[in-house]
Every structure is written in C-alpha cells, then in structure tokens.
Structure 1
C-alpha cells in the first residue's frame, strides 16, 4: 500500500468528523449569501464532494482502482464551489488541503500532473472571480492571488517534507531497534555455539588423550602383574613405564582442560608416532610396523597433529576393543593426496559402531577437506584409510 493510502486510511475517521462539521458550518454560511438556485447547485456539488471524499478515504477498492480519479474529482468540485462562493474561506482551505494529498503520490509524473491541474483550476477560479472591475486592478488581484498561491504551496511542501522526514526517522529507528534485537540474538547464538564447540573439542581431546594413556597404563599394569613373580626385573621396568605414562597423562589432562591454549604442534611426526609405538613395545606381545615417507615432515602442523591423533586413537581402539596385537601403518603422499592406512589383526566386526573416537577421527579429517573409510569383518581385523588433499597445505 502506498504512503498516500496509509495517510488517508489512518486519518479517515478524523476526516469524516471534520467533514461533517464543515458541512454544518458551510450550510449556515451559504444560507444567507446565495439565492435559491445557487443554494441547490451548491448543495448538490457539496454533497457529491463529501460522498466522494468519504468513499476515497474508507473504500479500499477505490484506493486501489479509482484513487486518482476520485482525487481529481475532489479538486474539480472544490474549484467549482469556490467559483460559486469566492468569499467562503472554508472551501478555499479545503481546496489547498488537496495539495498535501498530492505530495503523497509516489509517482512523480502523476504528482506533477495533479499539481498542474490544481494550479490551472486555481487560475481559472481567480480569473472568473475577477471578471468584473478595472482590468488593471484585476491583474493586480490575480498577481497577488498567485503569489499567495505559490507561497501556500511552498509552505505545504515544507510541512510535507518535515512530516515525511519524521516518518522516515521513526521507521529507521524502528528498523535499527529490530536489527539491534536480532544482532543481540545472533550474538547470543554465536556465543552458545562457540561454547558448545569448545566443550566438544575439550571432550574430544580428553577422550583421545586419556583414552589412549589409560589403555596403555592398564595393559602395562596387567603385564607387570603377570610377570612379577617370574621376571621381577622386567616387571619393574614395566611399572616404571606405567608410572611415566601416568605422569604423561596428568600433563595431557592439564593441556586438554586449558581451553585457552592452542593445540600443540607436532615437531616431528615420525618421532611422535614412534613414542606411541614405544609405549606398547615393552609389553612384548604388541607389534607395530611403521612405513612413512620422510617428506611428510614438511606438512602443515595441522596435518601432522591430525595424523598423530588418528594413529593414537586407532591404536587405542584396536587394542582396547579389538584385542589386536599386530599393526601395519603406512603414511605417504601420492598425486597431491596424503594417505594414511592402518590395518590390524583384531577380532573385527561385521557392523561398525561410530564411537566417540571414530567420530573424532572423522571430524578432524573432514575439517582438513579429506575423508576417512572404516572397514571391518569378523575375525579379519579393522582397516582405517584416510585421504586428504594437500596441494594447498604443504
């Protein structure tokens, strides 16, 4: 709906009341100033004007289809009434009030057309009302009338501009208020999402770090328990190793819960993986074969950390859940793709359940733009295969 329509609808009841009041005053004034025939003509035209105004301000169908015709009719009727009663100021006031309505027309061409019609009819009314008398005086009266006309038009334009500016300011303030509310809601959602993601990251880090360490610790203690009576020296070495694992786990726990610290970088991927292998080497029954290209050390730190965590989680899961004792690890780069293959001899399974550990591996790989496949069959071990494009990451 256009601005002029909103303006009319919002003020329709006020206009009806004012129009009725004007009708009574007008009839009282013209009763003693017009003859019988003029009074009848005036009454018919005036009632037609009031009916036209009423329909234009209350009927939405007229606003949509016949608004401009109705406005033009009001201007013409007001001009004719002004010719019949040139001394009746209230008709002149009504005639000029249409200018404010014209200024609400959004279409500039139609707005200029209605202003031209309004000005032309006003010129005709002034000329008709000044036909009698001296021509020189009439020209002066016409000139004064047009000076007053354009002065009034200018004042109405200033009033209209101020009113529109106030309305636009109100709308802008309302938009800003709504935008501020939405921004606060968005900021709150972002904060909640950030907290949730940080909690997930910390939980994953605790699971990955402590899950591996505790599994290794339990296995060392069980091995020490079995060999304590037969081989005390070997058991003592295993216990010392278990103590070191416990200390290391405590340090890792501090790192995991400290959410403000960045992920630690892996300086040497091969050395870090060998440290993992060394934790199980003292048990005797765990064998891990590692094949790794040296050029992997030039990888982006995020890649090396991801690979390290994937290997750590895979070893932990396979030993803890699959009873694996033999692992084959391959890490290499081919055709701008980083490939990691981990195969064990565990008990395997026909249906893979995505635990927190496997989900953690998958999420880390996806973050780097890669993908991971898990494959397993009963009594055939577990296979993890990772591929990550690295042509933009090295």
Structure 2
C-alpha cells in the first residue's frame, strides 16, 4: 500500500514538472512569435502589467520547483524529528510555491497540491486530515488568475496566445486544463489511498492492542498461577526438609542413645561382678556418646554423617559396626560382596542410614545379640540385607524410623521389604549409579 502511495506521489511530481515545462515553453514561444509577426504592440495594449522576461520567469519557476522537489523528497525519506525543522521546511515550501505561481502569473496552481500532500502525510489524526483537505481545496480554487488578478496586475496564459490561431489557442488551453484536471485526479486518488491506508493501519494497531491486552490478561493469570505454584512448592519443600531433618535427628540421636542405653544396661549387670570391666564399658559408651554428639552437630549443619566426610562408605560402615558392637556387647558383622562402593553422596547417606537404623532397631526392639550386614550387587542394583537373631515380631508396626528409612530409599527409586521369621530381616533394593565404576 505504501509503495502505491509513493508511486502516485512520484507521478504527481513528474506531472507537475511536465505542466510547468509546457507552460514555460508556450510562454517563451508565444513571446518570440508576437515579436516576429508584429503583434507585440497589440499584446502590450491589452495587458494590465508589464511582462517579465519569459526566459527569466521560466528559469525562476523551474529552479524553484526543483528545489521544492528536493525538500519534499528529503523530508519523506529522512523524516526530520525536530518540530522547528519541520515548520521551517513547510515555510520554505510555501515560499517556493508562491514564487512559482507568481513567476507563471497564476498560470498553473497544481504546485499547491504537492504541499498539501506533504502536510497531510505528516498528520496522523483523521479529523485533522479532513479539515486540512477542505481548507486546501478552497485555497486551490481561489488560487486562480481571475481571482488573484483582481488585486495584483498579471498577464494571463490566454493573453500570451494572441499570436496563435483560434484553433491552436483552444488546443493549448485544453492541454493546460487537462494538466490541471489530471493533477487534481492524482491528488484525490492519493488522498483516498492515504486515508484507506491509515484506516487499515489504525485497525491493525487496534488488533495488536487487543492482542497485547489479551496477552497481558493471560500473563496476569499465569503469574497468579505461578505464585500459587510457588507457594505450594515452598510448602512441599518445607515439608520435605522438615521430614529430612526429623530423619537425620532420629538417625543420629536415636542410634547413639540406643547404644548408650544398651551399654548402660550391661554396666548395671556387671558392676558388682567386675568393676574393672564396667569402667572399660563406660569408656566405650563415652566414645559412642561423643560420636553421637558429633553426628548431631554435623546433621544440624550439613545433614550428612560426619564419618562420611572423612572415610569411604565401606570404612564408615565398618567403624559404625565396630563401635556399636563394642558399646552394646553385640556381635555385628559386615560382609561387602558388592565390590568397591563408589557412590554419590546421596546414595552413601541412604546406605549408611539404613544400616544404622536397622542395627538400632535390632538392638532396641529385638534385643538381638547377633546382627549380620550384607551388601550384594546385581547389575545396577545394590541389595542391602540386615538380619538379626532377635525376638522378631508377628506384626510390623512402622514407626518413625522405618518410615523415614523407606522415604530415603524411595527418593533414590528403590524399595524396602521386611521378614520377621527367625529374628528380623531388612532387605533394601537400591538402584545405584556406581560412580566411576558404572
């Protein structure tokens, strides 16, 4: 659409240039013809003003028109933003147009339409364009020789044709009228196309605004949903962290207190029989208590068993088994048939806590004197078995320890099963990434 507007504008500029060349050429030729055939005296007696040099008038009109075209196209291509520059350019355009009209003695007023188009193109409001169009058409009508010559003495284009025959005069006048008519038609076509383009642009902008508003509404809804989701996620994370803290505290404090409790019971039994052994047993209980305190502090700060920070998993398991067995007078063995235990931190934590909780439950609830810890591997799966020779139980009631042990294993995608025949057995199947060995 804008290409069509520009094409009509270029055509209008060319058409006005051709019209000016025609009028200047006819005026110059008619002046020389009157001198040649001796009708110059008759011409001077008929006109009310002294004629200017036809060549000077033609050069002035054409020079001003070319300057006007340069300004118009420069404005259209570069679109000056400063308001003062725009108004200076408009004032210069008006001065050039008036100079052209006066140089031609109002013989052709189509130049005004170019300035009107330039002004209308810079106006966005439809109402202002219509007002400017109405004012421009009125000025175009009154910018006529018959009206202006009443105030300013001029020589009409028709008076220059006195040396031609009537038929030729009518032809030349008809050509000039055709130039004016076509010029007006091109102007109206440009205006209609400009208004139609502006109307479509307005509709497009309105549609874009509606889409933006619709997108903003959707964005508000999504933001509300996102806030709700964030709150829910925060609550879930808080709940998971609370459960994790509870598991850590249960595993550290529960395990340590179970060992201490069983050790104290042993001391009570043998204090009268062997005070020296009792002292040794109390020393072992003191070591377990201090380790428990260290684990509690570590759990609060980093939620990871302190021993796993300094020892490999297998060594940490054997140390826990040895210390717990010594403190509680329980025979605990650890048999690793899975090979090197190269696990990620979350996997190490889970294996360590499952063994720890299972041993604690075997001593506390089962009264076990023998506990067997076995680790086996099949492909990517680690099977952890903790079997004791305690009293077992007919009905397994899952307490806090068992529930958290199951949660730890489930987070890794594994599962836990129990067997209460001939003591109690915990079997944990955990999918392991196996670190560098996988």
Q: Calculate the TM-score normalised by the size of structure 1.
A: 0.58
- Which residue, 290, 306, 313 being the options, matches 2:357? 313
Q: Which residue of 2 aligns with 1:372?
A: 416
Q: 2:427 aligns with which of 368, 385, 392?
A: 385
For residues 214 and 228 of structure 1, the distance between their equivalents in structure 2, rounded to whole angstroms, comes to: 20
Whose relative contact order is higher, 1 or 2, with alpha carbons under 8 Å and at least 6 apart? 2
Counterpart in the other structure of 1:186: 229
Q: Distance in 1 between matches of 2:381 and 2:356?
A: 21
Distance 1:356 1:233 in 2: 38
Give the conservation status (yes or no) of the 8 Å contact 2:263–2:328.
no
**Greater radius of gyration (CA):** 2
- The CA distance in 2 between the partners of 1:300 and 1:287, in whole Å, is 29
Q: Residue 171 in 1 paired to residue 247 in 2?
A: no
* Aligned counterpart, 2:286: 243
CA distance in structure 2 between the aligned counterparts of 1:186 and 1:221, rounded to whole angstroms: 51
> What's the CA shift for 1:184?
2.6
Residue of structure 2 in register with 1:281 after alignment: 325
Structure 1 residues 141-220: aligned runs within 5 Å: 146-220=189-263
User: Does the 8 Å CA contact 2:375/2:384 hold for their aligned counterparts?
Assistant: yes
Query: C-alpha distance in 2, partners of 1:283/1:227?
Result: 14
How many angstroms apart in 2 are the aligned matches of 1:151 and 1:200? 71
Q: Provide the rounded CA distance (Å) in 2 between the counterparts of 1:295 and 1:151.
A: 84
Q: Kindly indicate whether residue 276 of structure 2 is the aligned counterpart of residue 233 of structure 1.
A: yes
Partners of 1:223 and 1:283 within 8 A in 2: no
The 2-side partners of 1:299 and 1:141 are apart by 89
Q: Quick one: distance in 1 between partners of 2:197 and 2:360? A: 86
CA distance in 2, matches of 1:383, 1:363: 18
Cα deviation digits, residues 334-370 of structure 1 (max 9, x gap): 3343222111112222222222211222222222232
For the Cα contact (< 8 Å) 1:215–1:316, is it kept in 2? yes
Q: Does residue 334 of structure 1 match 2:378?
A: yes
Deviation at 1:147, TM superposition (A): 4.6
Deviates more, 1:161-170 or 1:311-320: 161-170
User: Tell me, which stretches of 5 or more residues in structure 1 are unaligned?
Assistant: 1-135
> How far did 1:236 drift?
0.7
Secondary structure at 2:340's aligned position in 1? helix
* Residue 368 (structure 2) pairs with residue 324 (structure 1): yes
Q: Is it true that 1:272 corresponds to 2:332 in the alignment?
A: no
Quote how far apart the aligned CAs of 1:235 are.
0.7
**1:255 partnered with 2:298:** yes
**8 Å Cα contact 2:259-2:328 kept in structure 1:** no
The count of aligned residue pairs is 258
- Asked whether the 8 Å contact 1:325–1:345 carries over to 2, the reply is yes
The alpha carbon displacement at 1:315 in A equals 0.7
Distance 1:255 1:163, change over 3 A: same
> What's the CA shift string for 1:210-262, capped at 9, x where partnerless?
11110111111121122111100111111122222222222222222225x66
Local SS of the residue matching 2:210: helix
Instruction: Tell me the distance in 1 between the aligned counterparts of 2:245 and 2:285.
Output: 25
**CA distance 1:231–1:168, shift in 2 (3 Å):** same
C-alpha separation in 1, matches of 2:431 and 2:423: 27
**TM-score, with structure 2 as normaliser:** 0.53
Query: SS at the partner of 1:340?
Result: strand
Match of 2:396 among 341, 345, 352: 352
Q: 4+ residue stretches of structure 1 with deviation over 4 A?
A: 136-148, 261-264
